[in-house]
Amino acid sequence: MQPGCFECFNTLCMGLKKSKPRRFQEYDGVSSSGVESKTVQSVVEFESIHRDAVTCINAYAPGTCLTGGKDNLVVLFNWKQGVTLCQWSGHSRDVTKVKYVGETIYSSSRDKTIKVWQTSKAGNEPILTFEGHRLVVTAIDLNEDGTLLFSGSRDNCVRLWDTTKNTSISEKEVSRNLVSCVKWIPGTQAQVAQTGEDKMVRIWDTRNMQPSFTFPAQQYFQTCCDCSRDGQFILTCSNGFNGKGCEATLWDVRAKGMVCRYFGHQQTTSACIFLPHLEHVSSKYLIATASHDSTVKIWEKDSTECLATLDFSGAGPLTDLCAWDDGSLCVSTTNMGVYQCVLESREGKPELIKKRQF
């Protein structure tokens, strides 16, 4: 982070709220997994960084997250200091996804554009705007060195952009492929996982902009995807209601098949992520899911056992998740901003604890 970023936005820094009592100072109940939690959770509350629903979130530096909202804003917030580091307001409609490489921020929007920002240059004017999609841009991701940007839209198209030349390289349209999420597969130079409302999970080869493989069609819309750090697995989740659908699914990229499913949410599962391997929490590999039923669940990847459930009553549908290597997670919500949580071990089992709200 360049020093100028902090200096330009000292006036926007958000402090602790002293006069207003915490709305939810503890969580004391029985989770839907049947695991009873009696831990008192004292939550530090900061001023809200968005004026409306927070639609997307991404892990930035330790203690810092990048968010996008229905208020058209992109915000970089440090929860340890309780300050907004940078804020950008150049979109004319909801921000749908936020990504970054180094100090370069990318945001997609319902205004059909992808905008590029610098942390050293906050304000209303992006340093670059990518235009070409004809409808809402719903998904973006970058390769490891940030030279290529892959995007998807409700116009049934995926696009590949050269960020070094600021140009569109190629475009591919697939009938009824309303894209919901794209993720570059780690360790590959040319493979991107993509989910959409045609219920398919595709692996795109960016060298020819053709699907190199498509997993079997699912019963429900696929809302989100994530890739394991070794590039071997893809995690997806789906829409649903009253416990039908609402699941997450693990796919094996090399074997080109489904491994297992995770059942337990009651409404649309909106976000899913592979968690970093935390030896102090569990010797097993874990995943996390967030849902419109206002819960986050922690699962054991291989056994599919739900190990912990944290309720966010009053927050409305949960919209996105991200995680850091120290066990921190952030959850974006429709009604109550962003919660920062910590994954810890309690009596030999993982427990997710609310720490801050902003």
What is the amino acid identity at position 127? I
Query: Looking at residue 312, what is its pLDDT?
Result: 98
Query: Looking at residue 6, what is its pLDDT?
Result: 37
56 SS3 class:
strand
For β-strands 222-227 and 201-205, DSSP reports them as unpaired
pTM of the model: 0.89
Tokens 């992109």 — which residue? 74
With respect to CATH, is domain 54-357 assigned 2.130.10.10?
A: yes
Q: In the Cβ-directed half-sphere of 30, how many Cα atoms lie within 13 Å? A: 2
Query: Looking at residue 123, what is its pLDDT?
Result: 81
Query: CA distances (Å), 93 to each of 87, 179, 246, 337, 357, in order?
Result: 15, 18, 28, 18, 24
Query: Looking at residue 38, what is its pLDDT?
Result: 47
Mean pLDDT by 10 residues, the chain (358 residues): 41 38 34 46 94 98 98 98 96 98 97 96 90 98 96 98 95 95 95 96 97 95 97 98 97 97 98 96 97 98 98 98 98 98 95 98
Query: Looking at residue 40, what is its pLDDT?
Result: 61
